[in-house]
Amino acid sequence: MTISREKKVAYGVLVGPAVLIYAAVIIFPILFSLAAGFTQWNGLSTPQFVGLDNYVRMFTDPVFRLGLRNNLLIVAVSVFGQIPFGFALAYIIYRRMVRGHAFFETMIFLPITISAIVVAKLWNQIFSPRGLFTELMRIITENDRFVLTIFESRTFAIVPILFVILWMYTGIYMIIFLANLQRIDPGVIEAAIIDGAREHQILLRVVLPQMVNVVFTTAVFAIAGSLKSFDLIFAMTGGGPAHYTEVIAIYMYLNTFKYYNYGFGSAISMMIVFLSLGLITAVQAVFRKLEARYV
Amino acid sequence: MLHKQILVAVAIVTLIGSFAFAGGQQDAAEDDGVITLEVLHYLDLADNTSSGNFEELVDAFHAANPDIRLEFDYLFNEPYHNKLQSSAIAGQLPDAVFLWPGKRTGEVTSSGAVKDLSPWVDGVRDEFAPAALSPQGPNGEIWELPEQVTATHVMFANERLLDELGLEFPRTLEELLEQGEIIREAGYIPIAMDNADGWQMQSTLLSALVERTAGREWFDRAVEGEASFSDPEFVSAVEVIQTLHEEEMFSPGINQASYGEALTDFVTEEAVYLIDGGWRTSNLTGEMTEDQYEYVSYNVFPELPNEQGQAGSTAIVAGTGFGMNAELEGEMADAAWEWIYFFAGPEGSRIKAEQGWLPAVDIELPDDSPELTLKLADFLNSTPGGYVIDAVMDAEGMGVLHPLLQEMMFGNVTPQEVGNRYEEWVENNDSGRS
């Protein structure tokens, strides 16, 4: 056996099992879901081919459209809220603009270390009709029937959940940006200072251009994570009341596991994949231009 | 070269070997003559009353049946139904599972995954109330042995608070509404209810109201498509809920309150009335004091204007209970039946009656049964019942009806729109109309 062939055999033996497992756990389910999305199937009987009926049904269902809108709001909060906020906090800590930076790092990162279910129950205890916030407001307003009515608004019911998502996940982006900021050669910043650069010029001309790739990576994480949001929202509101806080993942879950519509649920899961790919492709196009300009 | 080939061979053997051992150990169904059954049970382990009561029942079963060992997996709410469903689809249903009589677990029971208990039930049929053993399958199958006949609507009243406020239980809807302001000004909640999950309003109130405004005959015709949920008979029942909400009769934030919060308000005497199912008797027995038992009364919703159904009615359905995996045979099936019959039959029912459950089996309740159990028994014996909507209509349709009721209470749809949109879904999708 030649050395080259020997290497190929070794690669195959060492990588093969992982590829097989990946194919079995990731690739096969995706292909199966794609196929099942064209069927009517309750999981117990034989699937019946129905073509694009599931996709037509999805887009004509106002509950799906509301879930899609909620998901896009979560994407927006993640990309335009968590990332800039996380970067700003990381930059402040990196540039030592506050004392006790270790304390702030810990406190900002702490929410991400708590289970999403615990976070959901925690905020439920604050916002619920018997929660801390509600009881305080009843005392302040002297109205013992006060409740937080934002959850009863079809338009704004998602807002408290967006707030919790922002609170919970900003810390992870702060850490990612902080780690990458610490990789910047301090000599470059010192040189800029010697040349008379001000803080905003250091940020815009020195730091940000080196963060373009990191911002792209975090944007991809934010989009993928936002479109499959489930645990926090399901534990907090279950997608209710009246579907007002429902997202696509909960819509998929209910149709699949509560109403035994496995074919329809598979189509919804593929829609999540398509949306993720579409948005990530769009983000890629934007960042290619930024990369060409700044890197 | 040889060294590398040996290393590669060792790696392959180790990998293949690890797959063989990855399956873990499987318990033997029979070991030393003891039959072990895997049981999936619907139980909230965070509910100390219910879980403590159930533990007592299981201990009694094990003491009476030393040759049978039960291994439980407990889940509650939607996670229970998810596991039941996925187990059935995977062909790995536990030996015994907790089931509902109607469409709540209908997909599983109609799939062939659950065994028809009729051969065993026929021998003990006379021990049970007739209503408990109504046919559950299309050919008269019995999928689960009900532990009780359930009234899903009871309007519990705190008579002590009524006396304190100079009130009596209202005879009519109008009288109830007039009480609202008096009760609120005294700092109490008129009617404690929680509806965050949506099913509570349909099951514990709307079903009973529909029996009053429409009656069973209308409902039978609506299931067949000869009547419509956009008819005044149904819409007027929905209007009652809207009126109650607009008049601030319910707990504040009812549609954000999780199931159990209303019970707490009633037990702590912050609410004058509680609307919930008869199954709450066991919780009330466990959480209230003996003094409180005396002044809790069991009632139905007051009289509505223009009632067409049974006056003074509630909504009744055969209760939940255990069924068994269709693949069980011989000793395993007999052992599973031993548990199923113990749970719902005379022995288990006697234990549960002491805990506040009213059994489906016809036993004479001991004189020292909890006071609230005796009150529930009197209530069921004297109160006619209509259908529970979610026992008769498809589960997926409840995913339309429940949010519509919530949206109506938010002021975003009218009662007529609730009826129209639910009817539209039923017309196009409900299995009863096809």
Q: How many other CB atoms sit within 10 Å of the CB of residue A252?
A: 25
Candidates B249, B273, B35; CA nearest to B168 is: B273
A199 reaches B (C-beta below 8 A): no
Rg over CA atoms, chain B: 25
Asked if the B35-148+319-361 domain carries CATH number 3.40.190.10, the reply is yes
CB contact under 8 A, A259 and B196: no
CA separation for the pair B108, B126 (Å, rounded): 28
Classify residue A15: in a domain, yes or no.
Answer: no
CA end-to-end distance (rounded Å), chain B: 72
Please report residues of A whose CB lies closer than 8 A to that of B16.
none
B87 to chain A, any CB pair closer than 8 A? The answer is no
Domain membership of residue A123 as a residue range: 37-294
**Which pLDDT score is estimated for B49?**
82
**Interface predicted TM-score (ipTM) over 0.90:** no
Q: How would you write the pLDDT of chain B (434 residues) with one tens digit per residue?
A: 667 777 777 777 776 766 655 544 444 445 578 999 999 999 998 888 888 889 999 999 999 999 999 999 999 988 898 899 889 988 999 999 999 987 788 889 988 899 999 999 999 988 888 778 888 888 889 999 998 888 999 999 999 999 999 999 999 999 999 999 999 999 999 999 999 989 999 999 999 999 999 999 999 999 999 999 999 999 999 999 999 999 999 999 999 999 999 999 999 999 999 999 999 998 999 999 999 999 999 999 999 998 999 999 999 988 899 999 999 999 999 999 999 999 999 888 888 877 767 777 766 777 778 899 889 989 988 899 999 999 889 989 999 999 999 999 999 999 999 999 999 999 999 988 87
Residue in A6, A10, A145 closest to B252 by CB: A145
Q: What percent of chain A has pLDDT over 90?
A: 71
pLDDT of residue B370: 86
Q: How far apart are the C-alpha atoms of B75 and B44, rounded to whole Å? A: 7
| The pLDDT of residue A209 is above 90 | no
Rounded CA-CA distance A92/A1 in Å is 59
Query: Whats the size of chain A, residue-wise?
Result: 295
For residue A1, being part of any structural domain is answered with no
- Token code pair at residue A67: 């879930």
What average pLDDT does this structure show over A50-65? 96
Q: Which residues of A touch B85 (CB under 8 A)?
A: 43, 257, 260
Q: Scan for tokens 């359905």, then name that residue.
A: B317
Of B78, B252, B396, the CB nearest to A147: B252
Task: Record the tokens describing residue B3, joined without a space.
Answer: 């060294």
pLDDT at position A5 = 87
Instruction: Using a CB–CB cutoff of 8 Å, tell me whether B412 touches chain A.
Output: yes
pLDDT value, residue B174:
97
- Residue A12, chain B, CB below 8 Å: the answer is no
Residue of B nearest to A151 (CA): B256
In DSSP terms, B38 is beta-bridged to: B71
Please give the tally of structural domains in chain A: 1
Q: Give residues with Cβ within 8 angstroms of B165, minimum separation 6.
A: B179, B182, B183, B186, B188, B272
Mean pLDDT across the stretch A156-182? 94
Residue B393 host element (H or E): none
Per-residue model confidence (pLDDT) at position B41: 96
In a domain, A105, yes or no: yes
What size, in residues, is chain B?
A: 434
The answer to the question of residue A7 being in a domain is: no
Question: Is residue A6 in some structural domain?
Answer: no
Q: Average per-residue pLDDT in chain A? A: 92
- Cβ B287 vs Cβ B156: under 8 Å: no
Residue A27 lies in a domain: no
Tell me the backbone φ, ψ of residue B426, rounded to 5 degrees: -60, -45
| CATH classification at residue A57 | 1.10.3720.10
* pTM for the predicted model, two decimal places: 0.85
Residue of A nearest to B88 (CA): A44
Q: Is the CB of residue B395 less than 8 Å away from at least one CB of chain A?
A: yes
d(CA A135, CA A126): 9
**pLDDT computed for residue B2 by the predictor:** 66
In angstroms, the CA A71 to CA A151 distance is 17
Domain B152-316+384-433 CATH assignment equals 3.20.20.70? no
The answer to whether residue A2 scores a pLDDT higher than 70 is no
Nearest-Cα residue of chain B relative to residue A138: B252
Q: Does A137 touch chain B (CB under 8 A)?
A: no
B86 close contact with A: CB closer than 8 A: yes
Asked if residue A154 belongs to a domain, the reply is yes
Q: Is the pLDDT higher at A290 or at B143?
A: B143
Is the Cβ–Cβ distance between A232 and A114 less than 8 Å? no
C-beta separation of A70 from A247 below 8 A: yes
Tell whether the model's pLDDT for residue A116 goes beyond 60.
Answer: yes
3-state secondary structure A279-293: HHHHHHHHHHHHHHH
- Number of neighbouring beta carbons within 10 Å of residue A221: 18
pLDDT at B28: 42
| Domain edges within chain B | 35-148+319-361, 152-316+384-433
Of B369 and A72, more confident: A72
Name the closest residue on chain B to residue A18, using Cα atoms.
Answer: B15
Enumerate residues 6+ apart whose C-beta is below 8 A from B73: B38, B39, B40, B41, B83, B94
B187 vs A contacts (CB less than 8 Å): 144
Per-residue model confidence (pLDDT) at position A90:
94
pLDDT score of A234 more than 90: yes
> With a CB-CB cutoff of 8 Å, which residues 153-212 of chain B face chain A?
184, 187, 196-198
Position A119 in a domain: yes
Q: What's residue B319's pLDDT?
A: 86
CA distance to partner chain A, nearest, from residue B371 (Å) = 30
A5–chain B Cβ distance below 8 A for any pair? no
Instruction: List phi, psi (to 5°) of A84.
Output: -60, -40
Q: Which residues of B touch A259 (CB under 8 A)?
A: 395-396, 399
